[in-house]
Structure 1
Amino acid sequence: MASRIRVLGNAVRAPSSCIRIAARAASTTTPPSSSGQTTVPPVEPNHEPGPSTSRTTHFGFKEVPLEDKETLVGSVFSSVASSYDLMNDSMSLGIHRLWKDSFVSSVLPRLPASLHQNPNSPTTTPRAPFKCLDVAGGTGDIALRILDRAREKFACRDIEVEIVDLNQGMLDEGRKRVAKTLYYNTPQISFTHGNAQSLPAHIEDNSIDLYTIAFGIRNCTSLPAVLSEAYRVLKPGGKIGVLEFGKVTNPLFRQIYRQYSFSFIPIMGKILAGDSESYQYLVESIERFPSQPEFAQLMRDAGFQTGQLREGKGGAWTDYTNGIATAWTGVKA
């Protein structure tokens, strides 16, 4: 894996001083039992407002006011941004790199090779670039993988990736990373501060060839809103690729994985990043995300054409490592 990617996803910005208070307030975890099972609140849609109730959503295992989630999630990623790559490698034992490579190779189509032009005597009309939008991709991991694959596999440099993220700390980390690459100060990659649920106005309808969001959508307040925006900006025939943590399919492996997640990952966060509360939230957010068929149905509800509601070739999703991570794909009709 020549490039690097985030496993936990990105979200929104908030002052880093808020992190411990916000995350600790949301830490109402029920740890795994001795049998390895974890008591997890059911995944439910946001509550609709009633005569005497306010709208709420989940932040990990805690219900919070709908308008507070972005600030709480933002404080998490402001806290972990500088140690993000180290923690991703440590938590996944480096396997996240394989997931991301496979994901990018599956969503990026074969592209025509670029032809070098002499800028002093151009002989051909410049080709319109293949436009990609990588949402919640602040650190640049997926974007750099896309650009590397296009260049190395297809000899294509007529491709541009715009990264949109709502957390400034993650965007800053991405800019540092790009400065070390051959894409520095080129139009092939750009960074934009923006919200996945309401993309910046300059991203027009029917303007994007490929939309990706990796390990970020579960941190968004409204999944339907994110998917609706993706559908809006994609061209007809454009493709969406979502990489996220899934539901482990093997019962025995699921117990081991949950025990590892709830017992080991927060401790590792404390040792390596000095922050166990943020990683406790991240583990809880994985548990609250919909199952593979449930999320595939959400994509269909947004208007995307998918494969059949099953895993594998011809299906709507592909599982990695027994479902620890899952890639969903769809096409705008």
Structure 2
Amino acid sequence: MSNEQVSFGYEDVAPDEKTRRVGGVFSNVAARYDIMNDAMSGGMHRLWKDRFVRRVKPREGETILDMAGGTGDIAFRMAKRGAQVTVADINAEMLAVGMERAEKRKIEGLNWAEENAEALSFEDKSFDAYTIAFGIRNVTHIQQALEEAHRVLKRGGRFFCLEFSTTLWPGFAEIYDAYSHKVVPKIGKALAHDEDSYRYLIESIRRFPDMDAFKAMIGEAGFVQTRVEPMLGGLVAIHSGYRI
């Protein structure tokens, strides 16, 4: 038997256990996804997502895989630019929220797929771009997911990842750390009756590789011209790369 351990927040658990517990977290928060993101970002996630999509530059008719995008936040923005977006998520409850939101907003033409980022069902070289926003840190084997992203991209395909990281701004880092660890779980308890899920989501940020380390992982997966664009000193970062 394997003795491999992976992080679930501040705990180290078996890979299967992490996959199961992360699934439980997102099943719990699916219906309150906007509340979760507002609590964790002070409402700024909407601006970050707008900026992220501007960097992706979705174009009319191109195919884009939006991984871990169940609720549609990124996909809706890209579909408005004319891209053909496949929204993929491992969590059926998150996808259900996204499909309901799309119907209410009368957004058509999206494809919805229940997929594991580590073992995608799509053929090699299927997409012009791959996006993942606030999802990669919850993947059990991150390197494997990056390699799958590389596999399903066409030559010249673009990889873009939006994720929380570690701010390097003196002073602000301590303020945000106190806010996230002490306040966010209490908000989760008050608004969503779920303190534990919110605590995990904050802890998962602390265990995620820093900007340079994650950039190196993207390069190891085969991407070139890798770069990182920090926001708020690195509290959030846009990582990108290309398949050649």
If the length of structure 1 is used for normalisation, what is the TM-score? 0.71
> Are the counterparts in 2 of residues 197 and 226 from structure 1 also a CA contact under 8 Å?
yes
The counterpart of 1:323, out of the listed 229, 234, 241, is 234
Which residue type is aligned with residue 175 of structure 1?
M
The one-letter code sitting in structure 2 at the alignment partner of 1:325 is V
Whichever residue aligns with residue 90 of structure 1, its letter is: A
In structure 2, the partner of 1:116 is none
- Are 2:107 and 1:183 equivalent residues in the alignment? yes
- Aligned-pair CA distance for 1:80: 0.7
1:174 aligns with 2:93: no
Aligned partner of 1:246 in structure 2 is 165
Deviations along 1:203-236, one digit per CA (max 9) or x if unpaired, are 2111100100000000011111001000000000
Correspondence for 2:209: 290
Q: State the AA in 1 paired with 2:177.
A: R
The Cα shift of 1:175 comes to 0.5
Number of residues of Structure 1 aligned to a counterpart in Structure 2: 244
Work out whether residues 143 and 217 of structure 2, in 8 Å CA contact, stay in contact via their aligned partners in 1.
yes
1:106 maps to a residue whose letter is R
1:15 maps to what in 2? Answer: none
Q: Deviation per CA, 1:279-331, whole angstroms, max 9, x where unpaired?
A: 00001000000000000000100110124xxxxxxxx1111122111000100
Matched, 1:130 2:62: yes
Q: 2:74 is matched with which residue?
A: 142
Once the two structures are superposed, residues 128-183 of structure 1 have per-residue CA deviations (whole angstroms, 9 ceiling, x without a partner) of x31000000000000001112x1xxxxxx3x2100110111100100011002232
Quick one: which of 135, 150, 159 aligns to 1:231?
150
3-state SS, counterpart of residue 54 of structure 2? helix
* Residue matched to 1:196: 117
Query: Gapped runs of 5+ residues in structure 2?
Result: none
Partner of 1:36: none
- The alignment-based identity, stated in percent, is 43
Query: Which string of whole-angstrom CA distances, capped at 9 and with x for unpartnered residues, describes residues 25-56 of structure 1?
Result: xxxxxxxxxxxxxxxxxxxxxxx94xxxx121
3-state DSSP class of the match of 1:240? strand
Compute the displacement of 1:190 (Å): 1.2
Counterparts of 1:83 and 1:101, CA distance in 2: 20
**Cα pair 2:6 2:15 within 8 Å, conserved:** yes
Q: Which runs of 4+ in 1 moved over 3 A?
A: none
How far did residue 194 of structure 1 move?
Answer: 1.0
Q: How does 1:91-110 map to 2 (within 5 A)?
A: 91-109=40-58
* 1:208 is aligned to 2:127: yes
Alignment correspondent of 1:123: none
1:154 alignment partner in structure 2: none
Offset, 1:251: 2.4
Q: Which runs of 5+ in 1 are unaligned?
A: 1-47, 113-128, 151-156, 308-315
Cα distance, 1:250 vs structure 2: 1.1
Distance in 2 between residues matched to 1:67 and 1:87, nearest whole Å: 25
Counterpart Cα distance in 2 of 1:196 and 1:293: 22
Q: For residues 176 and 278 of structure 1, what CA distance do their matches in structure 2 show?
A: 23
For the aligned residue pairs, the C-alpha RMSD in angstroms reads: 1.4
1:87–1:272 Cα contact (<8 Å) kept: no
Residue 225 (structure 2) aligned to one of 285, 300, 306: 306
